[in-house]
Amino acid sequence: MEVISGGIVATAGIKAAGIKTDKIGVAIITNEGGPATAVGAFTTNKVKAAPVEVTAKKIRKGKISAIVANSGCANAFTGELGLKNAHKMAEILARELNLNAEEIAVASTGIIGRQLPLDTIEEKIKILSKQLSSTPEASLNAAKAIMTTDKFPKEIAVKTVLEDGTEIHIGGIAKGAGMIGPRLKTATMLCFLTTDAAISRAALKRSLQEALGQSLNMAVVEGDLSTNDAVLLLANGRAKNQMIKVRSEKFQEALNYVTQEIAKMIIKNAEGATKFIEVQVLNARTKIDAKKIALAIVGSPLVKAAFFGEDPNWGRIAAAAGSVSAAMIPEKLSITYENSKGQIAKAVEKGKIIVNEGTRELLLARELLKDKELKVLVDLGIGKSKAIAWGCDLSYDYIKANAVFTT
């Protein structure tokens, strides 16, 4: 597998375009030559945005020819008019590109409770319909168009060789900086993925679910569940490989990598974040237990605050680990801090406290926590299962950004 340039358009047959002005952005992604096989995953929030409801129904048919997404307005909690406007977004693009509106997915991100500025969106769709391109700049423009509080655009592409010797590509763009909580059913966060692999819809769905389980569903900013979370994956078969009907190790490895890198980008871009934190839970009794504990640690406000203060308060980590319904024996627990240079500081080893007041280990831990990228290794010592989750610290700037978000 190799990381390549091109983002979402690294996949053969995919074109994109994006523009953002006056706080309203619009991005378009199209598949040439007809609809692609498509699967998706959406927020499990009971308050679902109109575009989520509309797209979730369309994608059940398994075919999508284009995606149109806007930033600046979530079109969530907007009633019947919101649903009509979500359909109109697709209809406008369908008219411009002579496509079937039922095969156009829609997505939105922004402030909840406001109706879509359809006139502005329609104007941008008309412009973008003439700018669709397969250049790297087109992918970057689309990634920028869906940004809200994001500090940087998020895009990635890889190529790999399948078991039958065929080279395939997977590309993607995403947005997300806040309201990130790991509860996609199958974070506001939007993620659009494309591949030229020939793969059955059933296999594609299984592959996406497996990838999300170890990537976007393991990423936490503050843990709030958005109304608009959506992940869409389109496969157009242009690589002409032998049809993937069961699990392909090579395809899964590439998809896992793409979604994990996107998850990391989202966390590194989190609102107000000064630290990127990777929590590795090791030697848990089960995989489910490992995931529960990893998510509890990265989601704990007290743990996050300690990292912001560069305070090696391992007690908060232990408390978070013990707060969920997962097997844990305190006397077997080990906690280790690691910085980006691979330097480590042991806080607890098999239940014995190593970082005490006045010890060299405490001074070392404090020094390590000054790094911008950190790992926390939590060894439960009671099994062989493991999991990784990603999170960030909780800073003053996060509070400032969200205290006046709509004003």
The set of catalytic residues is 188
The CA angle 261-265-271, to the nearest 5 degrees, is: 155
Name the nearest CA neighbour of 145 among 124, 126, 160, 161.
Answer: 124
Q: Residues with Cβ < 8 Å from 371, sequence gap 6 or more?
A: 275, 339, 340, 341
| DSSP, res 11 | S
Q: How far is CA 221 from the centre of its chain?
A: 11
Pick the closest to residue 347 from 368, 326, 372 (CA basis): 368
| Dist. CA 232–CA 36, nearest whole Å | 11
Q: What are phi and psi of 280, to 5 degrees?
A: -110, 115
Longest CA–CA separation in the chain, Å: 72
- Give the 3-state secondary structure of 234-298: EECCCCCCCCECCCCHHHHHHHHHHHHHHHHHHHHCCCCCCCEEEEEEEEECCHHHHHHHHHHHH
Cα distances (angstroms) measured from residue 110 to each of 18, 145, 148, 193, 208? 16, 12, 7, 21, 25
Q: 235 is written with which tokens?
A: 């496969």
Cβ atoms of 29 and 16 closer than 8 Å? yes
Please check whether residue 251 is in contact with residue 244, taking contact to mean a CB–CB distance below 8 angstroms.
yes
Count Cα atoms within 13 angstroms, Cβ side, for 106.
Answer: 31
The C-alpha atoms of residue 322 and residue 300 are separated, in whole angstroms, by: 12
- The region, left, alpha or beta by phi > 0 then psi within -120 to 50, assigned to residue 287 is alpha
Residue with tokens 């499990």: 44
10 Å Cβ neighbour count for 214? 17
